[in-house]
Structure 1
Amino acid sequence: MKRILVFLAVLTATFSYAQSTDSVVGQLTDKEYNNEPLAFANILIKGTTKGTTSDFDGHYGLQGLEPGAYTLIFSFVGYETQEISIQVVAGKVTEVNVPMGASAAALSEIVITTTTKRESETALLLEQKKAVEIKTAIGAQELSKKAVSDAAAATLKVTGVNKKEGSSKIYVRGLGDRYNTTTLNGLPLPSNDPRNKNIDLSLFGSDIIGSVGIGKAFSSYMSSDVSGANIDIISKETSQKSLFKIGFSSGANTQTTFEDFKEIDGANWFGINSNTKHNVRNLSTYSFDNNYTPNDGKANPNLGLSINYGKKFTLSDESSLSIFLVGSFSNKYTFQEGASDAIVDISDSGVLNVGSIFDTKTYNYNASKMLMGNVVYKINPNHKLSFNHLFVHSNNQKVQDFIGTTNDVGRDNDDNRLVNVLLQTEIQNKLFVNQLLSTNKFGESIDVNAALSYNAIFNDEPDRRKNTFIINNDTNTTRISQNAVRDNSRFYGNLFENNIAGNLSFVKYLGDRQENNGKITLGYDGSISDRKFDGIYFDHNFTDPRNTFLDINNLDATFNQSNLNSGLFGIETSRGRNSNDAETYLPQLYDAEKTIHAGYIDAVYKFSDKFTANLGVRTEDVKMNVKWDTNISFPGFSNNSEIALDKQYILPSLNLKYEVNEKINLRASSSITYTYPQFKEIAPFTYEGINFQESGNPALLPSDNYNGELKFELFPNKSELISVGLFGKLIQNSINRLERNSAVERDFTFDNSGDATVFGAELEGRLSILSKESEDAEKSQNLTFGGNITLMKTKLEYNTANTLFNYTGDSSELEGASPFTLNADLSYRFSVNDKETISTLVFNYQSDKVYSIGTNFQENIVEKGVPLLDFVFSHKFNKNLSVKFNAKNLLNPSFERYRDIPEKLTMNSYKKGTSISVGISYNL
């Protein structure tokens, strides 16, 4: 059968290329990727400029050859070049099928480059074209061209994706953190932050990323706790015989670098704080390790250092062992200056109702370290075993210095007093990821794949320090303010979560792997997560705050053992228990567990050469239990309680693909998924900021999601794409973050607000404007354009039967859903032999979108849309040495939020400044 198919392929290629029978045809296959067809490889007749490239199915053809001897050169970036001598006979068709790979062989010439196939734009575009389901990915090649430094920034280059400013959360088609999932090599990752479901994608630097896939349409083999997208990070592997690359970069910000800068006392420049837990064992002893007073200094230039090492060992003709190691360090200083006004509304008489009005200064320092290693053992072409280990350590230090007025202080014209709120926050993350993956092929038609992972995350918030002062400009004095219990406090928070996950799948092809009518997959996915979180406040309550004056630049002269002994202030814990017995001031905490067991059957069947269908059914059993012991209660629940959710699902999915011709695909997708509440959305633990607080709602229930999509794809050539898509979603019993009315100015919680609908259209284009190449292929230049537009309409219809929250109006747009998003880039590339220059302009715009939903007659808070423009330039002097320059946020717009009233009065505003960096890398 296989011989017949090869003969038919040869016959088809022969007919399609020329009438002359003096030709060479064949197929190139990829030994490094399950012997799949290798597209876009180069075939050149040695000593001439005559050649061609393989098509989408790996086929190639050379026609019009005179009879005689020739040497053909087969090459592809990242693979060994092969030279094969042939004899062309008059009136005959010469067939040459070539398996391409990176393993060593007895070849006359070997060419190794640093770019591997699965990271290139054209290869990912080919995978998108061939896939049955709707998928999008961005690879390492494109990340480098656009100066993308991490996975979070990578997602923003994909159609329909945007990000909430000042947060790690991304939104896909208007759906935020709780509606998305994150995986590494297809295996789940825990969150590094108790307030989020997904891990901060900025922790994954571009050095470890092979590609980032955004799955916005769903199949049965994917987790179904999702309605926005699954973000799957594929880690790098090496296919080169050897690699050693070192890179260094430095950068500056126009409003930060070399300016005055405040830093938290405790963590060092390298971003390590060993004092992550409090040492308080007696409330009469002031035993805190860190100073209250921030350290004054200067913001130095940002630095980055990375080292890549790879080695491939050939064990036999079919067996190899490869090792890839990456280590990196980076830091970043940022400063923001602006305003924060707690505008509530305007009364019927036109009077503005406001709370605090602050001038704001925010100093932020971030340092991160990353180590990744993988070992890949290719036993033979049919069996492969790989182990991945990833360690990420990040430390983020923020000093927020707010000065202004409140309803009680500084409002009247004759009141020359100001409120000063100082908040110092440090977040330290340590993430450990361990993965073992195995792929196996048995015979011609059966695959068995398995994977197992163990992940652990340590999230520490050591010694969050808050102070509130009253500044009297008439007397030039500063005193303690104590209107609320948290006005002067220290907080310690610690989170630990571990996760064990695994999957197993059996694949049966309906034919053999290369030529078949489809396949049937049976699989199992399992996941067990366990999270423990505790947090404790140490409130400093002053006996006579109105007469307690201090030096704002030397807070430790007030907050010390001597003043504690004298009774100037006392210390109470978060539960108000003032005792010398450490066992009586236990921290607030919550414990959470979640187990998922899922089985699925997924069938792909090719009804004809043009029409393919993918039908899947997934069953999931999901159990979640959250126990808490806090100092607050929620209506219907005590401050010491627990909640259990136990649901079973049967979830179908359907993907259809119709190939109009070789360049045009029509696609359709539909599925049913669900959304579980997050741990922190349920636990009624309160997180407090300078002028806001947020707590969970244990009454939350899961949402049911119905998803549908239609898409048209046109592939003009191997590097071009034009696509148009329409999508819609119905989310029953949707979960939303909302602002409720309370004594706190901005008090946020979560609720099943009602049913939500999302409808939208997406347009994407990747076009080659200019492409020139010299006859000898030593010089080339091209100009390319890429862009995508998303238009979206979202509507949340409030559940008015809910008496716990009084919603403002009948409906709202969804939180974080930008009605209009535009991404565009223009790139010019010029190369001469080993020299290469690339210049790229990258533009992004997101229109106004809801920041938080209002209740109790307060309108929504809206985040204003801003344009962003970046410039990237890189030059490669030779195979070894290259430099890169980038300038980000060239337009430096003002980032603002406003209350959604006709006057659109600004509540928050600040600028980020323009960042410039220069880097150099050397590849040995």
Structure 2
Amino acid sequence: MKKILILLVVFTATFSHAQSTGSVVGKLTDKEYNNEPLAFANVIIKGTTKGTTSDFDGYYKLESLSPGAYTLMFSFVGYETQEINIQIVAGKVTELNVPMGASAASLDEIVIKTTTKRESETALLLEQKKAVEIKTAIGAEELSKKAVSDAAAATLKVTGVNKKEGSSKIYVRGLGDRYNTTTLNGLPLPSNDPRNKNIDLSLFGSDIIESVGIGKAFSSYTSLDLAGANIDIVSKETSKKSLLKIGVSTGANTQTTFKDFKEIDGANWFGVNSNTKHDVRSLSTYSFENSYTPNSTKANPNLGLSINYGKKITLSDESNLSIFLVGSFSNKYTFQEGTADAIVDISDSGVLNVGSIFDTETYNYNASKMLMGNIVYKINDNHKLSYNHLFIHSNTQKIQDFVGTTNDVGRDSDDNRLVNVLLQTEIQNRLFVNQLLSTNKLGESIDVNAAVSYNAIFNDEPDRRKNTFIINNDTNTTRISQNAVRDNSRFYGNLFENNIAGNLSIVKYLGERFENNGKITLGYNGSITDRKFDGIYFDHNFTNPRNSFVDVNDLDATFNQNNLNNGLFGIETSRGRNSNDPETYLPQLYDAEKTIHAAYLNAIYKFNDKLTANVGVRAEDIKMDVEWDTNISFPGFSNNSKITLDKQYILPTLNLKYQLNEKTNLRASGSITYTYPQFKEIAPFTYEGINYQESGNPALLPSDNYNGELKFELFPNKSELISIGVFGKLIQNSINRLERNSAVERDFTFDNSGDATVYGVELEGRLNILSKESDDQEKSQNLTLGGNVTLMKTELEYNTSNTLFNYTGDSSQLEGASPFTINADVSYRFKLNDKETISTLVFNYQSDKVYSIGTNFQENIVEKGVPLLDFVFSHKFNKNLSIKFNAKNLLNPSFERYRDIPEKLTMNSYKRGASISAGISYSL
């Protein structure tokens, strides 16, 4: 019923989302002095008193213009006045560059260019300068200029944002997945992998992105379940009458391509596995469809395919319909070779207690498909109705082949044995996103905004296969090892999650829409999320494992119906649901629901030409229910139980902007936010890896976050920025991953470890080192330098009253927070008529950070900082044909985790290899 009410409320206001005004920006040049910038020239809208003057660099801007036709008058003492007719379009920036001289310029000297507001680099920087909130956005123009391939790479252009190579997680000011949110066109966007809170941003290629906005200071009209940033992806709409673009790319990895490779039997090359559920009806029948033995092959070059189609149809003088479709496929082979050591603890005498020591080989194959489409219907530039659909299918296959020793095997001088652990994991995700948004202006001073979305995700883990063997080098034999119930098993897991969300707001301008002193917004956000998960293990228990010899290249010769009939092994299930019937195998499961209802009031008021304030308050009611039935219990909870978190919040936000002059802003912000635990962090279901396990903690509680920031911004010209900011956060009852005492060498869970403080300083610069343009503007070259640095200190004071976990020491750095991060890029661009060449070198580094908090006299596990260096090159031969070349991870550093003791003992180490790719695209 609640879902129906939300849908009804949102659909009744379908024609209602606010439309932005138009703007004009441009540069005036002096024809009499070699086209040098012309400062202090007058720019006036004919027939009005509205106007401006050009700055020292010849740049000017006119903002908040109502859509329609205008005549602009350009004048300067001693020069001929020019009148130019332009058309202002809502939500877009018109770029008009005018050469001035003693005689009027000819029409072919005047450049009029209209671009979508959120695509133009100049317009986005202007929007950032004008906005009251502290925010940054990367548009399609900058993505193209720096040859950025996806949304994940785009975020790295923003101060304080880092992404680990090979991971989908974004860190903002050192705060990871738990503390960030991702939206698509302002609506909630679920993760393509339910083990994470946020979607993998690398799935969003630059072809579908209009802009990526990163908000690190918060306002009441957005979800406040965050402390790091909200990342909003604005999807592209076609602006051309017709568009067709086809792209093909291929790539290779230095330590993978054309070399021996292992693949899981099951999913095909396209990344589709139709056998996502088991077909076992009897434990005495071996009815598994997939082979236990990995397939041996060669790693082929990576492949990428994409196609874009757009069409704009004029229905009448006042209405049009636009269609934009994107489809893509990509795959990737990677191989990692390294070590994994388990340093359990250090005794008082300094003696190491070492668990397993493995040499590791990991084979990864990833295949993903994406389809996106939108249909936009516009009337009079006053009404707009759009429908967006996104489908993502991703399939990840991983084979981990570990060989080494344990405390019991291979340590004595006469023990010439090794342990071999083989884990084959496949995860298949299907994400469906549907959004309906509308915009409508009512009268001269009221807007009503509305949007609704329905999202669904299917996450399958079909037939995760684990084997444990003992290799005897003296006899050259391999036999089954069975020290634990999971040593030889198959696992099937299935998860389904759906989400309905809606936004509704009413905006009242203090004056007319285009001439006002501010606005007041009253709004509602609602969201309902349901998740259902079930998983089942089929454990293969051998009667006499010491005499059960196997051929690792033909495991199906051991795991088959004949050996099951003969009693070589038996099959048992994880009967954690009070079943005494050995033939009844009920899966472990958890069901979860999260409901959010939020109302907010947000006001922007311009006191004078210099001071503007944004004040807001948000009231949220959040209820989360998690019910589980598993084969494990958590202290204080049974294996069949339920928890409810029901919280109400009153959350104020404040943003202040003081404009010192045309080029300089001072900003301040403050807010109270929260961080709710995720479903997977609460449900006591154990996820088992090759030498670790992780499970939820049903005793988790939400965190309260207090955020503050001061920032100075200097805009030397339209495309340059220099800024410095200081920020601070207090996170009460912070949630962290921790390592607990267990028979398993690495057993992770989550806990409210205590209060954490975060404070730091950020520096950012975007500078034009070289900028040249020919008189006829047909030839230009630019050299730009961009960089940002974040210095940060975090301190987590442990909650010593917590008797469940015995923390090591009194305090620690916050889990996942890097004290130092740096992003830098240098880009060269050369353009001659329709030809264009871009070369970009990108560097990223984030210092060591805590991976998990240590307990029971074990120190923290720390993830070592590594430098990453990428090179991107692209060339456009003409309007239709272009090529692109990428070289990533050129330094090929070693990725490591170590125990935080003076010796810094390495626990994991591997290299990913350098990757290169090349692609070609053709557009019509």
Q: When the two structures are superposed, what TM-score results if normalisation uses the length of structure 2?
A: 0.90
Matches within 5 A, 1:358-377: 358-377=358-377
Using a 3 Å threshold, how does the CA distance of structure 1 residues 376 and 455 change in structure 2: closer, same or farther?
Answer: same
Q: Counterpart of 1:537?
A: 537
Q: Which residue is equivalent to 1:513?
A: 513
Say whether the 8 Å CA contact 1:181–1:198 is kept in structure 2: yes
Q: Please, which moves more after superposition, 571-580 or 155-164? A: 571-580
The corresponding residue for 1:559 is 559
Pairs within 5 Å for 1:544-623: 544-575=544-575, 584-623=584-623
Per-residue deviation at 1:413? Answer: 1.8
Cross-structure match for 1:16: none
Match of 1:156 in 2: 156
Instruction: Judge conservation of contact 2:758–2:795 (CA < 8 Å) in 1.
Output: yes
Range that drifts further, 531-540 or 84-93: 84-93
Q: Structure 1 residues 34 and 167 mapped into 2: Cα distance closer, same or farther (>3 Å)?
A: closer
1:98 aligns with 2:86: yes
Partner of 1:779: 779
- 1:320-335 equivalence runs, <5 A: 320-335=320-335
Change over 3 Å in CA distance of 1:811–1:566 after alignment to 2: same
Q: Which amino acid aligns with 2:383?
A: H
SS in 1 for 2:859: coil
Q: Which residue of 1 aligns with 2:234?
A: 234
Cα deviations by residue, 1:329-375 (Å, 9 ceiling, x for unpaired): 00001001000001133323232221100000010000000000001
**CA offset at residue 583 of structure 1?**
7.7
CA contact (8 A) 1:454 1:500 kept: yes
Aligned residues of 1:703 and 1:734 also touching (Cα < 8 A): yes
CA contact (8 A) 1:281 1:581 kept: no
CA 1:709–1:630: 2 relative to 1, 3 Å: same
Q: Which aligned pairs between 1:284-299 and structure 2 lie closer than 5 A? A: 284-299=284-299
Query: What is the rounded CA distance, in whole Å, between the counterparts of 1:781 and 1:92 in structure 2?
Result: 30
String of CA shifts for 1:89-131, please: whole Å, max 9, x gaps: 999977656324499xxxx999999975422322221111111
In structure 2, the CA distance between the partners of 1:722 and 1:583, relative to structure 1 (3 Å rule), is farther
Distance of 2:327 and 2:356 partners within structure 1: 45
8 A contact 1:282–1:581 mirrored in 2: no
The 8 Å contact of residues 433 and 453 in structure 1, kept in 2 or not, is answered as yes
Q: Which residue of 2 is the match for residue 528 of structure 1? A: 528
Counterpart CA distance in 2 for 1:112 and 1:508 is 33
Q: Which amino acid aligns with 2:129?
A: K
CA distance in 2, matches of 1:864, 1:210: 35
Q: Distance in 2 between matches of 1:907 and 1:901?
A: 12
Is the contact made by 1:146 and 1:842 (CA closer than 8 Å) also made in structure 2? no
Task: Report how far residue 42 of structure 1 moved.
Answer: 8.4
Instruction: Please give the per-residue CA displacement for 1:722-764, whole angstroms capped at 9, x wherever unaligned.
Output: 0101000001111111000110000000111100000011000
**SS across alignment from 1:119:** coil
1:913 aligned partner, one-letter code: G
Matches within 5 A, 1:237-276: 237-276=237-276
Establish whether residue 37 from structure 1 lines up as the match of residue 28 from structure 2: no
For residue 37 of structure 1, what is the amino acid of its counterpart? S
Moved more, 36-45 or 856-865: 36-45
Distance 2:328 2:30 in 1: 40
Q: 1:621 to 1:511 in 2, by over 3 A?
A: same
**Superposed displacement of residue 578, structure 1:** 12
- Does 2:726 correspond to 1:726? yes
Distance in 2, Cα, partners of 1:622 & 1:366: 36
Note the 1:685-764 alignment, pairs <5 A: 685-764=685-764
Whether the 8 Å CA contact 1:674–1:703 is kept in 2: the answer is yes
The answer for the alignment partner of 2:205 in structure 1 is 205
1:88 is displaced (CA, Å) by 9.8
Q: Show the counterpart of 2:791.
A: 791
Q: CA deviation at 1:52?
A: 7.8
CA distance change for structure 1 residues 753 and 362 in 2, over 3 Å: closer, same or farther?
same
CA offsets, 1:371-420, max 9 Å, x none? 00001111111111110000000101001111001111111121110000
2-structure distance, mates of 1:654, 1:448: 23
Counterpart residue number, 1:499: 499
Distance in 1 (CA, whole Å) between partners of 2:475 and 2:720 is: 69
Q: Describe the SS at the equivalent of 1:39.
A: strand
Aligned residue type for 1:382: N
Gap change, CA 1:284 and 1:814, over 3 Å in 2:
same
**Change beyond 3 A, Cα 1:41–1:396:** farther
| Equivalent residue number for residue 219 of structure 2 | 219
Shift of 1:39: 2.5
Q: Which residue does 2:867 correspond to in 1?
A: 867
Instruction: Describe the shift of the 1:495–1:146 C-alpha distance in structure 2 as closer, same or farther (beyond 3 A).
Output: farther
Cα distance change on mapping 1:302 and 1:88 into 2, 3 Å: closer
Distance in 1 between the 2:467 and 2:188 partners?
39
Query: Does the 8 Å contact 2:653/2:671 carry over to 1?
Result: yes
Alpha-carbon distance in structure 2 between the residues aligned to 1:866 and 1:56: 51
In the alignment, the residues of structure 1 paired with residue 288 and residue 455 of structure 2 have an alpha-carbon distance, to the nearest angstrom, of 32
Q: What is residue 845 of structure 1 aligned with on the other side?
A: 845
Partner of 1:482: 482
Following superposition, the deviation at residue 579 of structure 1 comes to 9.0
Output the amino acid matched with 1:827. S
Name which of structure 1's ranges 896-905 and 148-157 shifts more when overlaid on structure 2. 148-157
Offset of residue 625 of structure 1? 0.3
When the two chains are superposed, the root-mean-square deviation of aligned CA atoms in Å is 3.0
User: What residue in structure 2 maps to residue 14 of structure 1?
Assistant: none
CA shift in 2, pair 1:624/1:920, >3 Å: same
| Distance of 1:854 and 1:822 partners within structure 2 | 28
TM-score after normalising by structure 1 = 0.90
Residue 582 to residue 324, structure 1, CA distance change in 2 (3 Å): farther
Secondary structure of the 1:408 match is coil
**Is residue 2:446 matched to residue 1:446?**
yes
AA matched with 1:238? T
Question: In 2, distance between residues paired with 1:715 and 1:237?
Answer: 29
CA contact (8 A) 1:886 1:916 kept: yes
The Cα shift of 1:318 comes to 2.9
The answer as to whether partners of 1:56 and 1:126 remain within 8 angstroms in 2 is no
Alignment partner, residue 409 of structure 2: 409
Q: 1:583 to 1:715 in 2, by over 3 A?
A: farther
Map of 1:21 onto structure 2: none
Q: Which amino acid aligns with 2:86?
A: V
Say whether the 8 Å CA contact 1:39–1:56 is kept in structure 2: no
SS in 1 for 2:25: coil
Q: Which moved more, 1:347-356 or 1:847-856?
A: 347-356
Contact in 1 for aligned 2:399/2:422 (Cα 8 Å): yes
Deviates more, 1:172-181 or 1:216-225: 172-181
Give the gaps of 5 or more residues in structure 1: 1-31, 64-73
Question: In structure 2, how many angstroms separate the alpha carbons of the residues matched to 1:270 and 1:477?
Answer: 37
Which position in structure 2 is the counterpart of 1:176?
176
Q: Deviations over 1:578-637 (max 9, x none)?
A: 999798211100000010000000000000100000000000010110000000001111
Could you tell me which amino acid in structure 2 is paired with residue 651 of structure 1? L
CA contact (8 A) 2:19 2:441 kept: no
Distance in 2 of aligned mates of 1:524 and 1:84: 41
Equivalent pair of 1:626/1:644 in contact (CA under 8 Å): yes
1:780 and 1:87, CA in 2 relative to 1: closer, same or farther beyond 3 A?
Answer: closer
The offset of 1:192, in angstroms, is 3.0
In the alignment, does 2:654 pair up with 1:666?
A: no
Query: Paired residue for 1:70?
Result: none
1:776 deviation in Å? 1.3
3-state secondary structure, aligned to 1:859: coil
Distance 2:267 2:723 in 1: 49
Please say if residues 52 and 61 of structure 1, whose CA atoms lie closer than 8 Å, have aligned partners that are also in contact. no
Q: Which residue number corresponds to residue 23 of structure 1?
A: none
User: Residues of 2 paired with 1:113 and 1:918: CA distance?
Assistant: 31
Q: CA shift at 1:228, angstroms?
A: 1.2
Please tell me whether the aligned partners of residues 42 and 52 of structure 2 are also in contact (alpha carbons under 8 angstroms): no
CA contact 2:737–2:851 (8 Å) conserved in 1: no
Change (3 A) 1:114 1:389: farther
Alignment partners' CA distance in 1, 2:190 and 2:29: 46
Task: Confirm or deny: 8 A CA contact 2:43 2:74 kept in the other structure.
Answer: no
How far apart in 1 are the matches of 2:251 and 2:146?
A: 16
- Cα shift at 1:51: 9.5
